[in-house]
Chains A and B, each alone.
Chain A
Amino acid sequence: METPFTNHLSFEHIYEPAEDSFLLMDAIEADDFWLRETVKPTICLEIGSGSGIVCSAVAKFLNVFCLATDINSLACRATRETAQRAGVIVECVNADLVKPVVTGKIDMLIFNPPYVPTENYEVASSNIAHTWAGGLNGRQVMDRLFPLLPELLSERGVFYLVLLEQNRPQEVERILQMQGLECQIVMKRRAGIEKLCVLRASKAQII
């Protein structure tokens, strides 16, 4: 997967691509064959696209229409610029999680959430806090998404989520399994003090 350029951006108010961003891209790239042959995604949605590096890379890599949301309007702007420079289409909406997105259409959902455990009041306290502050167990933001997944995803929909060890990946798996999703940790990596992994959840058993 080609890494889109982000050197036109300043990272004062948006997330600068880091190990977690690259881990997510690598996990998707490793599923190349399965995605193309089995899932055959038409519509992809990235939540919290930030600089736009991940969705732009995915839009170039797979023949999909990419939508993105971010709660930070500067990130939406950055995502558009990054996509333009990479010569791909990514459409960005300034929104909270997937609130304005209609149900049943998303074949591929990706999220590198704010996952760092913090005090709850720190979540959403600034544009930069949005990029990392995850509240209790780092789960405050992503936990709001989980109940929406079965409706949001299409029949063959898959979901890729970056998690930190402190987010309790096994507990997340159980929550998603209770929604009827099949779960698997597809990649793990240590980045400095962070133990990161990517969880893949899919609606149908399409392995």
Chain B
Amino acid sequence: MKLLTHNMLSSRCIKGVSVGYPLKISAKNVRLVNCDFDTDFTVRIIQKLDWNALWEAAESVGHADDIPKNLSDIDDYDKNDEFLRKVHHVVLEVEVIEGELECPETGRKFPIEDGVPNMLLNEDEV
């Protein structure tokens, strides 16, 4: 599970949960992979991101130093190649292979195995 994927997952589907976002990550095994960098694509991805959730996720897997806590700290980020490469690295190249996601409201845990989060719910949870 890449951090970009984490940015788009919530536990709002659990009965009684109002926001369910962002999910907490506890990672047992994190892997770094190589992905081709594309300036335009990275800018478009940033426009989709919830930055706070990304920063928290990066922090929980030991990569918070790579990106600023506030996106507003960076002027003209779309022209800042160094910054864009760092974001690219954090959102696409850091992968949680084994670990857990946790609902921030109920504490319900979702296992991540072989990089795939299992977010299936039991009938009594929905």
Which positions in A face B, CB cutoff 8 Å? 40, 42-43, 63, 65, 67, 71, 73, 76-77, 80, 89, 91-96, 99-102, 105
Contacts and interface: CB of A to CB of B under 8 A. Distances in A.
The 8 lowest CB-CB distance pairs between A and B, nearest first, are: A99-B13, A100-B119, A95-B119, A91-B5, A42-B44, A94-B118, A76-B116, A100-B9
Given A63-B41, A67-B8, A99 B119 contact: yes
A73 B118 contact: yes
B121 interface: yes
Nearest to B44: A42
B119 A67 contact: no
Contacts, number: 70
B64 to A, nearest CB: 22
B9 A89 contact: no
B32 interface: no
A40 B38 CA distance: 15
B48 A95 contact: no
A91 B2 contact: yes
A96 B116 contact: no
A93 B119 contact: yes
A77 B114 CA distance: 8
Nearest to B117: A93
A100 to B, nearest CB: 4
Contact of A93 (B5, B35, B45, B126): B5
Contact of A100 (B11, B45, B92): B11
A76 B35 CA distance: 21
B57 interface: no
A80 B114 contact: yes
B51 interface: no
Interface centre among A71, A73, A91, A105 (most CB of B within 10 A): A91
Contacts of B119: 93-95, 99-100
Contacts of A91: 1-2, 4-5
A95 B8 CA distance: 13
Contacts of B74: none
Contact of A92 (B7, B8, B48, B116): B116
Contact of B9 (A40, A42, A102): A102
Contacts of B35: 89
B38 A94 contact: no
A99 B121 contact: yes
7 contacts: A42-B48, A65-B4, A91-B4, A94-B116, A95-B119, A101-B8, A105-B8
